[in-house]
Amino acid sequence: MVAGEPSGDLLAGLLLDGMKRRWTSLQTCGIGGPQMIRRGFDAWWPQDLLAVRGYVEVLPRLWKILMTRRALRRRLLADPPDAFIGVDAPDFNFGLEAPLKAAGIPVVHYVSPSFWAWRAHKLVQLKRSADLVLCVFPFEPDLLREKGIDAVFVGHPLANVIPLEPDRAGARAALGLSLDETVVAILPGSRAAEIRHLAALFFAAAKIVGERRSGVRFVVPAIPSLLEAIRAAAAASALGDRLLIVSGQSHTVLEACDVTLIASGTATLEAALYKRPMVIAYRIPWLSMLIMRGSNLQPWIGLPNILCREFVVPEILQDAATPEALARAVLDWLDRPQDVAALEQRFLALHETLKRDSLKLAVDAIEKIIHR
């Protein structure tokens, strides 16, 4: 297995739960993170190696990434596994999966690339690379089958992990927060580059929110490896004891908050499953943005908006993402409780659509590919 970045590690960890229940003597190895390792995964290389987003940002690590993929490919071809499962990370996994598939190793790709949003060119690579695609969104399998790619909708595992009715009181108690205070969650990303580009911006926006609305608490769930970088960015914000930085616990923080200021990515779907209003923001180097704009197929980048097919939450990107603009958007949610209630119902319907017996469906599909 190869899983890129924390969201892939989380999905792969849940999938490992299902596979271990089916195959008690299961052995898994490759590239993974703490969620996978906790379940007995043998990580030959750390997942942090692949936690890079964008085109320009990958360049400093490109040689090391390519050499790692080459070494992993040689190792797997020399001692073939019963199956290979690539979890997301298409830019890394496709180049690994294609030669494995050509050698007769069953290949499953978990999480379809966003070909319906801006990566249509990935379909050619996907067809060449995978025997089966496990899709987390219901509209994807039919579109993939039209291109001759075997695919099955297994639901999104997080829709089973996250309750349909969040326990906001319990989450606040776990974080030491009271029920009567206003809580804003700040999630500037899970990669070092995102922290560099977004953390100071988000904290500046939080300062404005705090100045205009008294009694607001700000909570940041930090990936342990990025904890010090986030603390350093927060130091200049002068938020004092209004800011709480916790190690991990992103789900608890999202469950507890009234609104979240959040970087575009899988975390936005997690926020939607917790039925939370959000302000999605992102900044990347201008060259990466130019490349992405040239291949964008729809007006949204945030998963909640993509899945709802409209701007149900604001997206504030690039130069438009100023502290003032982000603060206004956060305050706007806090001032519109009726709109928040309507959004919660919209996200509840989305949650029910994505909720399936994901682990059984996924393992059933993997087993069929192996036997075939």
pLDDT in tens, the chain (372 residues): 999 888 899 999 999 999 999 999 999 999 999 999 999 999 999 887 776 655 556 677 788 889 999 999 999 999 999 999 999 888 899 999 999 999 999 999 999 887 765 566 778 889 999 999 999 999 899 989 999 999 999 999 899 999 999 999 999 999 999 999 999 999 998 888 788 888 989 999 999 999 999 989 999 999 888 888 899 888 888 888 899 999 989 999 999 999 999 998 889 999 999 999 999 998 765 555 554 555 555 677 889 998 998 999 999 987 898 999 999 999 999 999 999 999 999 999 999 999 999 999 999 999 999 998
The pTM for the full model equals 0.80
Buried b (16+ CB within 10 A) or exposed e, 198-226: bbbbbbbbbbbbbeeeeebbbbbbbbeeb
CA 84 to CA 318: how far, in whole Å?
37
Cβ atoms of 227 and 247 within 8 Å: the answer is: yes
Work out the end-to-end distance of the chain between its first and last CA atoms, rounded to an integer number of angstroms: 19
Residue in 176, 366, 204, 363 with CA at minimum distance from that of residue 283 = 204
Tell me the Cα Rg of the chain. Answer: 21
Buried b (16+ CB within 10 A) or exposed e, 268-282: bbbbbbbbbbbbbbb
Estimate the crossing angle of helix 337-354 against helix 266-273, to 10 degrees: 110
Q: Where are the domains of the chain?
A: 2-155+356-371, 168-354
Do 2-155+356-371 and 168-354 fold alike per CATH?
yes
Give SS3 for 316: strand
Please give the distance of CA 128 from its chain centroid, rounded to a whole number. 25
- What fold does the segment set 2-155+356-371 form as a domain? Rossmann fold (3.40.50)
Can you read off the two tokens belonging to residue 227? Answer: 């904890």
Could you name the CATH architecture of 168-354? 3-Layer(aba) Sandwich (3.40)
